[in-house]
Amino acid sequence: MPFHQPNYRRLFLVLTILCCTSFNVFAQKTREQLEREKSENQSKMNEIQSILKQTSSQKNVNLGQLRALNQQINNLKKKIDLLSDDMAILDKELKTLEKKRQVLANDLGKLKAEYGDMIYEASKRNVYLNQLVFLFSSGTFNQFVLRYKYLKQYTDARQGQVKQMEVLEKELMAERQRITSKKQQQQTVLVTQVSENTKLEGLKTKQDEVVKELSQKEVELRNQLAENRKATNLLEANIRRIAEREKKERERREREERAEREAKRKAERERVARENAEREKKGEAKVVVEEPKEEPVVSSSGMSDEEVTLASSFAASQSRLSWPTRGFISGHFGQRPHAVLKGVMVDNLGVDIQTNAGETVRSVYDGVVLDVTQMPGMGNVVAIQHGNYMTVYAKMSGVTVQAGQKVKARETIGRVATDGDGTSELQFQIWKSTSRLNPENWLIRR
């Protein structure tokens, strides 16, 4: 019979290592996700730091500076939260490594103890002579061969056990190095977290100072708010005028198409009537023509096939539209409390995207430029049609498109203007016919 039985202890070790490895793969996926979030957040912080530097360079504090500070504080809080997540993942990874190290250490200890027992037993008797006696006391040649194979298996088993111990020694040393590395990573993350918390406190102090200084300019802020509302109302009236114009144009095309269809049907009826009159004179059977059914009116009526396709494609792009410019949303859609004035609400037709001076503005989708105009308080305004949808880009300078021009997604249409306070901010809106939509539901999340 063969010498060695199945090594259940080794099998248990392999299974344990596989389990630990599976856990590490899961943890690695989480770590990859975490590292991606950290990288994205750091990119946002770098971008906003540039914007904050621009607004802070002005002699007087302004709302643009406050908004950039608020956004930088939010991103710094996110960074600190991500560092906490990093610590939690490192802790899990460290516990897994410790467990794996303990399994390896225990198994190595048992192997060494068993090997020691084998060496001790072998030293108590002359193993070599016993083996010779065992071989040459065979009754037959076949028995001799079987005993030789048995002894060889015994020798191979001892050599295999030595190799197992060498492998475990290497694995154990590697695990100890990994544990040391994880502990160093934990220390680095902890130091970074403390540093970022100190920065956060500094930003909050600066935020309080800016709010306090702005609060002392209530009259100026209210006048500025009144001017903004006037400009916003003027912009909304202009957009509705454009939307109504396009709506009437679609209705006109629809009426013309219906009149054309009716004229064709009437001409067909008259032709059939004449043909039947001739057939009646000749005593032939009349031609019976089935009257075509009236085509149902659908929501896309009045649009060309190209516009219908474009509108459908645009609608399917919700939450996936590219941003019209770099930066962050400094003013959200709809009614929101004023950043400084208590009890005052601000109504936003779209979103404000604060960015760097002279930043490029791009069309978010394929379309046709409906209107390019200049308005007080809104600078240059560009409206682009996407079927029965429309995107609006206000507070621009250096517009590079004109009405009637076809544009592609991400095509440059101008640059962001900078106001007297040194704030560069794009007003971006999305409309469906005469209804305004929340752009945040359409732009791809950053």
Helical (H) or strand (E) element with 19: helix 8-56
Mind listing the pLDDT tens digit for each residue in 76-108?
898 888 888 888 888 887 787 778 777 767 766
Going by C-alpha positions, the residue among 274, 203, 232, 214 that lies closest to residue 45 is 203
Give the pair of three-digit tokens for residue 7: 């090594």
Q: Which residues of 97-113 are buried (b: 16+ CB within 10 A; e: fewer)?
A: beebbebbeebbeebee
**Whole-number pLDDT of residue 166:** 67
Mind listing the pLDDT tens digit for each residue in 348-366?
999 999 999 999 999 999 9
Distance CA 287, CA 289 (A): 6
**Whole-number pLDDT of residue 255:** 80
Architecture of domain 309-441: Distorted Sandwich (2.70)
Q: What average pLDDT does the segment 169-185 reach?
A: 76
**Whole-number pLDDT of residue 412:** 97
Distance CA 75, CA 327 (A): 13
**Whole-number pLDDT of residue 351:** 96
pLDDT of 260 above 80: yes
**Whole-number pLDDT of residue 378:** 93
Q: Are 352 and 363 in contact (CB under 8 A)?
A: no
Mean pLDDT, the chain, rounded, equals 79
Give the pair of three-digit tokens for residue 22: 């599976």
Domain boundaries of the chain, sorted by first residue = 8-215, 309-441
pLDDT of 112 above 60: yes
**Whole-number pLDDT of residue 416:** 96
Q: Is 372 exposed, middle or buried (0-12, 13-18, 19+ CB in 10 A)?
A: buried
**Whole-number pLDDT of residue 428:** 97
φ/ψ (deg, to 5) at 306: -65, -40
DSSP string, 74-90: HHHHHHHHHHHHHHHHH
Which segment of 185-199, 228-242, 356-370 scores lowest on mean pLDDT? 185-199
